[in-house]
Structure 1
Amino acid sequence: MHRAPSQNSNISFGRRWRFFTALAVALSALGVSISAPAEARSGNGSTAESQKQTSRQAGKPSVKRAAAKAAARNNFQRVAVPAGPLPPTVMAALARAHVPLSSVSVVVERIGSAGVPLVALNANQPMMPASTMKLVTTYTGLSLLGPDYRWKTTAYADGEVDTNGILHGNLYIQGTGDPKLVPEELIDLVNQIRRNGIAGIDGALVLDKRYFDPSTRDLPAFDADETAPYNVGPDPLLYAFKSLSFTLTPNPEGGVSIDVLPQLAQLQIDNELRVTRGACAGTLPAASPSVAQTSGGFVQASFVGDYPLRCGSRTINVAALDHSTFFAGGFLALWKQAGGTFAGVTREGPTPASARLVGTHRSPVLSDIVRDINKFSNNVMARNLFLTIGAATGKPPATTQKSAAAITAFLHRSALPMSGLYLDNGSGLSREEHITAQSLADLLTAANSSPVAQVFTESLPIAGVDGTMRNRLTNAGALGNAHIKTGTLRDVRAIAGYVGAANGESYVVVSFINDPRSEAARAAHDALLEWVYEGARRTGSME
């Protein structure tokens, strides 16, 4: 048995981890693709800045701010004008999928129409929205916390530091739920601790996770695939989405190299893969490791079986271990790579009032976090933001009840009563969360005239360009002209966002399909978006 430690002292904290971050964010969208993984494959490796440039180049829906404000003011004084039927192309696509209209909810409104819908089918029927529920969480987060909000991860020390830089005491790491605490971010905290004169720790590494209530942790997975990244739950010290990314590369000499990100101090790889000359077909079981803790505090990832050379390089993401074990392993790997030593144990516990501050890392701004959440439909990032709303606007520790109450109160203050809204975890990865198409359309209308309109809109995937819409409508007129959040669960398909039509008008579009045949009905949503782009005109009725 060949056993190789995972630690690599030649890690590049720049390019490789920027790529991994984008990749992991995209792959975490698998959680909204339980029966249709195409959405999960739609992420790209753009950095936040390149995404901003792409968004600007692709264009965004024309926004008529004054008219939108008027629409928001009149949002609940709707004129009783009957909405038109679904377009023929949408009806035909639903018929081909054998999806009845009773399983569909649709609202289409022109921005500036004072809330009068062009299409309203089952508009006030509560539906499962899947990941379009992230729009409620991200809009509320931007509005309450501000686009420039940053999470803090802080380090404290007690005890004395000797002349060799050894801390004769404990190092405490206190988390507040940073959704994007990846290695190129956490290394900043490590370097700050080193600059404060600490080169070694002979006490404990203590993880202070009091910002989130214990009730928010160790929750049941959404489905049976417990090692899938989409099933990762929230945590105050969420590190690298609590997922290991293994890249397997075969070579003609018969070996398979295995690279892993992030590095964990206690991780070992047992590589018993054999290169074969056969065809590359099927699910390739050899590429799926078993990950387990072993005696001595190690974690072993075992790869066994035949790996066809023709399969080429493959990357698999596995959500393994508990949050505390994962964070401690990641922190200590970075600590040791920076030249630090550690001779103690790791545990959870509170930071004493007497401990002194030795480092503070601030996350990327919330506007960038929201972009990742919505572009790539990242569930655990959304769940951390959801809990942060409750803690930051009230008093820690965060609970789901506090967060749901804070969001509901904000919506009511914003004249958005949101009939039919039920919040579970704020990500949409839930069978309990519900909302009506009309409520979500009202939120989109209000967001369009809000101070965070531009940041919010630019966070949404652009049809045919990026995020979970990258591979949709690539040959249609709506290409680059629709900012649409998607949602996918087994038996659920959803779209919600803005369409800039060819006639210069802008529209809010929301549609949910809750039906066992919903996967086959994705074409109906694409047809709806294309119809809206073409001007949403209906024969014999109002525009």
Structure 2
Amino acid sequence: MVNFRKYVSGITVLATGFFFAQSTVSTVLYSQAYDNQKNTLNLPSPITAAVEKTVLSAKELVDINVNTMMADPVLKNATWGFVVYDPKTKKVISSYNETTPLVPASTTKLLTTETAMNLLGENYRWMTQLEYSGSIDENGVLNGNLYLVGSGDPSLGTNKAGAWSYRDIISDFIGGMSREGIKKVNGDIVIQTALFKGNISGLPENVVWLENNNYYLPAGTTHEINPANEKLIVKNSGSFSADKKYFYVSPYVKKVVYADKYEGDGILTTKIPDAPAYLANTFRTTLVKSGIAVTGKVTPKMTDANPESRKMIAMYKSPTLGDIIYYTNQHSDNSLAEALLKTVGFQKLGDQTTESGRIVVTEHLKDRNFDIEGLNYIDGSGLSRSNHVTPIAQAKFLTSLMDEKYFKTYLNSLPVGGQSGTLKRMFIGTGNGQVFAKTGTLNKVKTLAGYLKTNTGKTLVFSLMVNNYAGSVDMVKKRMERILEPALDL
């Protein structure tokens, strides 16, 4: 039941503020209970709404909401930061702890995807080519080798972002062989990709792929883990045993390895199915089933000191980088983000490691005058809890992109409040279609950073990061909406 006396008291206080305030109103004049009550009572007079609008500006309402959250049971013991920034005036409109380094979770992808788009261009594509050496005789026998030449396509065979499936690629390759008149291969199928030379790499520190007392890690070598029994299972049923520790293996097939037991300080090297090898082996199997015999085997050849003369049979082009970034940000795809990090490392430094990618991204951010103070960029996806960034640095970075020629593509890659991607279930009412932002979620970490289209036609930039909150993630999301709601009227 609503306390009518309390409600009338709230009106009196606001009215008093209306007659005495010149430009600002102390936050003690505002009560969240008043907001709740005004929506459920039939007021004796419409003056209350007018008083509120006159007394409290949109900026003051933003500040009041922020101040209210400081005492909120979900956030009062959390470490959190917030900033709304005007890209035209280059001034902070409202903020709280905006210079505090916080764990950004998947808003880290904002940095990774923009670096890739800046360095490679939104129309960049990866090529996977089928070539042959030797000659084709009158009977259609290829006396030579088939070559699968890859370039590190992160979407290869995944169906992500419009990428073809392995089956579609193989069908196209077999069609190319038919056009060349090849009916038998008297040779090997050689996998040649000098881009990603190895499948095993060191993992970023402090990475958690899925938090439910189970740890999911990307393929690679990780210290401090040495399972007594390593087993391979398929990640389809979701029926995981709570007493086992799981490790994510491959971005290409949904498999994980798990350990029954830890022995401490050892090394676990996971066994990764790599995409070019999977494509080549499936290609060979399909050729044989189609009646095209292959006498040789599938063999990798990363480098070739004396390459054979070769002719191209078919070429598969990946989706554009813009399409891949759209998929990455809409779905918060971790494997694509990590692949983009390695790609920029290779393109700039000739090395496919995560460390090279980190160097390239960090140097790019410096070139953008990114505030490096408080930045710790560890991985491309935001899965490491060792990532740190400040809200103001995120906001100024997003501001700096607005004059870039690829900004429209970048903006369109971000989930839209109430409509798409990971924001589809936020801002369903107020803010629907007006919030364009990247989300981030880890256990006790919830973040949001991007752009606001205000009711007055402005575009504002914001960052809101919450670490170590109490309660559920849905409770935090509701408070994030409440903080940002009045900013839509700025």
Q: What is the TM-score normalised by the length of structure 1?
A: 0.61
- In the other structure, the counterpart of 1:347 is 299
Counterparts of 2:397 and 2:319, CA distance in 1: 26
One-letter code aligned to 1:105: G
1:528 CA drift (Å): 2.6
Counterparts of 1:107 and 1:202, CA distance in 2: 65
How do 1:262-411 and structure 2 match up within 5 A?
Answer: 322-323=273-274, 326-332=278-284, 335=287, 340-350=292-302, 352=304, 353-358=307-312, 359-394=314-349, 396-411=350-365
Counterparts of 1:122 and 1:108, CA distance in 2: 12
Q: What is the TM-score normalised by the length of structure 2?
A: 0.67
Among candidates 108, 112, 118, match of residue 143 of structure 1: 118
| Root-mean-square deviation over aligned CA pairs | 3.7
- In the other structure, the counterpart of 2:97 is 122
One-letter code aligned to 1:112: K
Q: Would the aligned equivalents of 1:85 and 1:119 in 2 still touch at CA under 8 Å?
A: no
One-letter code aligned to 1:100: K
1:477 CA drift (Å): 2.2
- In the other structure, the counterpart of 2:259 is none
1:128 CA drift (Å): 1.6
1:86 CA drift (Å): 6.0
Unaligned runs of 5+ in 1: 1-82, 235-242, 249-281, 291-298, 302-318, 536-543
Corresponding position: 1:112 with 2:66: no
Q: Would the aligned equivalents of 1:132 and 1:487 in 2 still touch at CA under 8 Å?
A: yes
1:215 CA drift (Å): 7.2
Among candidates 179, 188, 191, match of residue 204 of structure 1: 188
1:456 CA drift (Å): 0.5
Among candidates 439, 459, 472, match of residue 486 of structure 1: 439
Q: Would the aligned equivalents of 1:108 and 1:508 in 2 still touch at CA under 8 Å?
A: yes
Corresponding position: 1:418 with 2:372: yes
Deviates more, 1:363-372 or 1:322-331: 322-331
Q: Percent of aligned pairs with the same residue?
A: 28
Deviations 1:421-469 (A, max 9, x none): 2322311122222222111111100111211110110010011111111
Counterparts of 1:120 and 1:343, CA distance in 2: 68
1:530 CA drift (Å): 2.1
Counterparts of 1:337 and 1:153, CA distance in 2: 23
Counterparts of 1:232 and 1:191, CA distance in 2: 35
Deviates more, 1:409-418 or 1:194-203: 194-203
Q: Would the aligned equivalents of 1:496 and 1:509 in 2 still touch at CA under 8 Å?
A: yes
1:205 CA drift (Å): 2.9
Corresponding position: 1:508 with 2:461: yes
- In the other structure, the counterpart of 2:161 is none
One-letter code aligned to 2:169: L
Q: Would the aligned equivalents of 1:152 and 1:176 in 2 still touch at CA under 8 Å?
A: yes
Structure 1 residues 127 and 186: CA distance shift in structure 2, 3 A: farther
Corresponding position: 1:175 with 2:150: yes
Structure 1 residues 98 and 452: CA distance shift in structure 2, 3 A: same
Q: Would the aligned equivalents of 1:465 and 1:480 in 2 still touch at CA under 8 Å?
A: yes
Structure 1 residues 381 and 224: CA distance shift in structure 2, 3 A: closer
- Which structure's relative contact order is higher, taking Cα pairs within 8 Å and 6+ residues apart? 1
Corresponding position: 1:186 with 2:140: no
Deviations 1:144-179 (A, max 9, x none): 111111111123333444444343443332222212
1:372 CA drift (Å): 0.5
Deviations 1:77-110 (A, max 9, x none): xxxxxx9896444555675553236510212112
Q: Would the aligned equivalents of 1:107 and 1:119 in 2 still touch at CA under 8 Å?
A: yes
Structure 1 residues 459 and 448: CA distance shift in structure 2, 3 A: same
Structure 1 residues 509 and 101: CA distance shift in structure 2, 3 A: farther
Among candidates 378, 381, 394, match of residue 440 of structure 1: 394
Q: Would the aligned equivalents of 1:90 and 1:524 in 2 still touch at CA under 8 Å?
A: no
Structure 1 residues 402 and 109: CA distance shift in structure 2, 3 A: same
Deviations 1:167-203 (A, max 9, x none): 3443332222212222446344454344344444453
1:367 CA drift (Å): 1.0
Structure 1 residues 435 and 342: CA distance shift in structure 2, 3 A: farther
Counterparts of 1:222 and 1:331, CA distance in 2: 35
Structure 1 residues 350 and 530: CA distance shift in structure 2, 3 A: same
Corresponding position: 1:100 with 2:76: yes
Q: Would the aligned equivalents of 1:222 and 1:231 in 2 still touch at CA under 8 Å?
A: yes
How do 1:517-528 and structure 2 match up within 5 A?
Answer: 517=470, 519=473, 520-528=475-483
Counterparts of 1:206 and 1:144, CA distance in 2: 31
1:330 CA drift (Å): 4.3
Counterparts of 2:188 and 2:94, CA distance in 1: 61
Q: Would the aligned equivalents of 1:131 and 1:486 in 2 still touch at CA under 8 Å?
A: yes
One-letter code aligned to 2:300: E
Counterparts of 1:484 and 1:113, CA distance in 2: 21
Q: Would the aligned equivalents of 1:208 and 1:349 in 2 still touch at CA under 8 Å?
A: yes
> Secondary structure of 1:432's partner?
coil
- In the other structure, the counterpart of 2:198 is 214
Q: Would the aligned equivalents of 1:94 and 1:524 in 2 still touch at CA under 8 Å?
A: no
- In the other structure, the counterpart of 1:31 is none
1:340 CA drift (Å): 4.3
Structure 1 residues 522 and 225: CA distance shift in structure 2, 3 A: closer
Structure 1 residues 343 and 229: CA distance shift in structure 2, 3 A: farther
Q: Would the aligned equivalents of 2:452 and 2:461 in 1 still touch at CA under 8 Å?
A: yes
Counterparts of 1:521 and 1:204, CA distance in 2: 57
Deviations 1:344-368 (A, max 9, x none): 4333322532241423322111111
Corresponding position: 1:471 with 2:425: yes
1:371 CA drift (Å): 0.5
Q: Would the aligned equivalents of 2:107 and 2:447 in 1 still touch at CA under 8 Å?
A: yes
> Secondary structure of 1:150's partner?
coil
